[in-house]
Structure 1
């Protein structure tokens, strides 16, 4: 059951503290609380609770606020709840009306929050917050005189597009290691099914688990095993798994019920069957790749993403297509399968037009985006796409074109910096969620928190400009001695301007 949440206090002065003091309106959590929508997306969140029975669920603002706090502080679920209990600013951020020393909710509810708030919903919140901020800033910086209709229709701004990969928290997959883990799971399933047999007259099937483990370790412990040794080890593990799967089928025919397996174990059995089929096909055909290849038994939705980066030619996680303009970054597409990002350019430009009301002046992208179709479409819209034109390069290039190409690459570095911020400052470099839908929520939250951080920096700069404060500027003064000669660098005096 879901009840519409009460409106949060409009100002931090309405928040009730035990000692009678008031919250500071300049606190970062207070400022960010003004951006978090409460009622606009609450109806979509309430669709997760179709019935009117049961205890009332937590509000959308509390669920979204808790996920933002966890990502902003990079802490665990338990630590998130403890931080909220100890900090009145965090309690105000999630929508509470007064300070309480009790836990706002159980830490296990954060798992349900990630399942109820989808990645698409978070993207809508992200777009609403960022677009409202850009419109407000545009109104504040607009000149007093109104421009004519011709100038309003011209292209303005710069759009940056690129793709990246959000690696999942899995071990580096190898064929031998994956088969060994699959064999271990088949042995556990055989043990469970045999215990569920009513008639124990039948002898328990032999799995040769000790011998199978010795065969695996004999190759896995070698620093650089030859290709022939790895192939022979894979062949043995495939034979062990084939025998175990046959035993599982015989136990089911003998009366063992699949109901003795829980939901996770039954799902693992289905994954094991598909892993065996894929690995057997790769072994028989002497191939290295196959469509929809499974690289993790616990997260079978993860696929290898070939990126060709130095040190990481292949990454295992979700492939993300993002766009950036005016300092804000948006998640346009997220897929567990690899895709060609050049097909997203038109949709990203149209999204820019929908947000701002005009097309960008230029689009800065990688070489893969600069297809003939995309170039023709951008030319039709009056958009300049970065990079050299197609065809044979000219013998001589003018200084203006060299300067323009260098400027385009510098501008495009901004979106690379956003990816670096998400992977170094936040959790985009290792997604700890285990399900596909919760992983999508975690990734979308990262982009939302990055935009909130951008907005906070802009507010801080405006505050410094209005208060008349500037950053300290230092300069070097070269002091001359009586003989007129300059002193050595060790004797330079560092003065504050």
Structure 2
């Protein structure tokens, strides 16, 4: 059962503190609470609770606010709940009307929050929040004019697009290690099934677990085992697993039931069966890859993403396609399977047009986006696609084109910086969620929090300029340029000196 929150838009002055006083209206959590459209998406969140029976569920503001706090502070679920209990500003941020020294909810509810709030819903909140940010700090589009003073093109702005990978929290997978873990799970399932019918059979099926462990360690401990040794070790582990799966079928025929397995164990049994089939096919056909290859027993949705980066040619996680303009970043596509990001250019440009009302003046992307189809489509829309033209490079390149190419690469670095911010400052470098839907929610929350951080940095720097009365404000775009170039603090220090 879900009840609509009545205090979602209450001002901070009405928040009740135990020792009197009021919350500061200039606090960052108060500012962010005002700009996030909590009530606009509450009805969509309430669809997760179709029945009117049961205990009332937590409000949408409390659920989304707790996830934002966790990602913003970079802490665990338990620490998030403790921080909310200790901080009145965090309690106001999640929609409480007064300070309470009790836990707002159990830490395990954060898992349900991530399941109920889909990445699609978070992307909608992100877009609506950015619309309110641009209303507060508007940036007027600059349109080119011809010699007669008329508008030459209705396009404006610069769109930056790129793709990256959000690695999941798994160990680096190897075929031998994966089969060893699968064998261990089969042994545990045999132990559970045997307890049910141990009175019917006098002898427990032999699993040779100690011998199988020695065979695995004999190769796993070697720094660089030869190819033949790895193949022989994989064959042995496959034999152990097939024998154990045969014992499981025999125990089921004798009366053992899979109902005594919990949900996780039953799912693991299905996954390791598929892993055994894939590894046997790779071994029989002498192949190195297979479609929908499983690299983790606990997270079977993860696929190897070939990126070709230095030091990490293959990453294991979700592949993301993102766009960036005016310092804000959007999550346009997320997939657990590898895909060619060049096919997303048209959709990203159309999304930019739908959000701003005009097409970008230029699109800045790397080489993979610069194919003939994308170039022809951008030319039709009056958009300049960065990068050199296709074909053989000319013998002599003018200085203006070199300068333009250098400027395009400088602009494109902004989205690389956003990816770095998400992976260094926030949790995009290692997604700790275990399910595919909760992992998507964590990734989408990261993009929302990055935009909130960018907006708050802009507001804070404008406040410094106005409060110090030293740096003249020539418009939001100039200040925004100083923020990203890192020169605003230096300029303030020089002016004060």
Q: Which moved more, 1:192-201 or 1:263-272?
A: 192-201
Structure 2 residue aligned with 1:4:
4
Structure 2 distance, partners of 1:179, 1:393, is 50
Question: How far apart in 2 are the matches of 1:273 and 1:320?
Answer: 30
Partner of 2:314: 314
- SS of 1:427's equivalent in the other structure is coil
Kept in 1: contact 2:470–2:492 (CA 8 A): no
Q: Deviations over 1:229-261 (max 9, x none)?
A: 111111100111111111111111111111111
Distance (Å, rounded) in 2 between the aligned partners of 1:307 and 1:249? 41
Residue 65 of structure 2 corresponds to 65
Q: What is the TM-score when the length of structure 1 is the normalising length?
A: 0.92
Distance 1:186 1:446, change over 3 A: same
- Note the alpha carbon deviations across 1:44-70, whole angstroms, 9 max, x for none: 100111111111000000000000000
Q: 1:118 corresponds to which residue?
A: 118
User: Is structure 2 residue 245 aligned with structure 1 residue 245?
Assistant: yes
Q: Deviations over 1:332-372 (max 9, x none)?
A: 00000000101100000000000100000000001111111
Query: Could you list the per-position Cα deviations for residues 246-299 of structure 1 after superposition, in whole angstroms to 9, with x for gaps in the alignment?
Result: 111111111111111111111111001100000001111111111100000000
What are the residue-to-residue correspondences of 1:276-425 with 2, within 5 Å? 276-425=276-425
Task: Give the alignment of 1:22-37 within 5 angstroms.
Answer: 22-37=22-37
Task: Give the SS at the match of 1:138.
Answer: coil
Deviation at residue 134 of structure 1 after TM alignment: 2.2
Contact map agreement 1:70 1:80 (CA 8 A) in 2: yes
With over 3 angstroms needed to count, the CA separation of the structure-2 counterparts of 1:279 and 1:46, relative to structure 1, is same
Task: Give the direction of change, closer, same or farther, for the CA distance of 1:266–1:152 in structure 2 (3 Å limit).
Answer: farther
Deviation of 1:79 after TM superposition, in Å, equals: 0.8
**Structure 2 match to 1:454:** 454
Structure 2, unaligned runs of 5 or more: 144-148, 472-487
Deviation for aligned residue 1:101: 1.2
Corresponding position of 1:234:
234
Q: Work out whether 1:261 is the aligned partner of 2:284.
A: no
Flag the structure with larger Rg.
1
Separation in 2, partners of 1:401, 1:152: 21
- Does the CA-based 8 Å contact 2:35-2:133 persist in structure 1? no
The C-alpha deviation readout for 1:7-60, integer Å capped at 9, x for no partner, is 335421111111110111111111101012221100110011111111100000
Residues 1:201 and 2:204 aligned together: no
The reply on whether 1:214 has 2:214 as its aligned counterpart is yes
CA distance in 2, matches of 1:135, 1:159: 19
- Residues 395 and 28 (structure 1), Cα distance of their counterparts in 2 relative to 1, 3 Å cut: same
* 1:44 is aligned to 2:57: no
- Report the equivalent of 2:481: none
On the 8 A contact 1:362/1:386 being kept in 2, the answer is yes
Contact 1:9 1:15 in 2 (8 A): no
SS of the residue 2:334 aligns to? strand
2:96 aligns with: 96
Aligned counterparts of 1:95 and 1:421: Cα–Cα separation in 2:
28
Q: Which runs of 5+ in 1 are unaligned?
A: 144-148, 477-493
Count of residues paired in the alignment:
476
For 1:111 and 1:32, the matched residues in 2 are separated by 23
Q: Is the 8 A contact 2:167 2:317 kept in 1?
A: yes
1:462 is displaced (CA, Å) by: 1.7
Asked whether 1:20 is paired with 2:13, we answer: no
TM-score between both structures, scaled by the size of structure 2? 0.92
The alpha-carbon deviation at position 130 of structure 1 amounts to 1.1
Q: 2 CA distance for matches of 1:45 and 1:472?
A: 42
C-alpha distance 107-469 of structure 1, shift in aligned 2 (>3 A): farther
The CA RMSD measured in Å over matched residues stands at 2.2
Counterparts of 1:236 and 1:229, CA distance in 2: 11
Deviation at 1:106, TM superposition (A): 1.0
**Residue 160 of structure 2 contacts residue 412 of structure 2 at CA under 8 Å; is this kept in 1?**
yes
Which residue of 2 is the match for residue 430 of structure 1? 430
Quote the Cα distance in structure 2 between the aligned partners of 1:197 and 1:137. Answer: 71
The within-5 A match list for 1:47-196 is 47-138=47-138, 151=151, 154-196=154-196
Q: Is the 8 A contact 2:198 2:204 kept in 1?
A: no
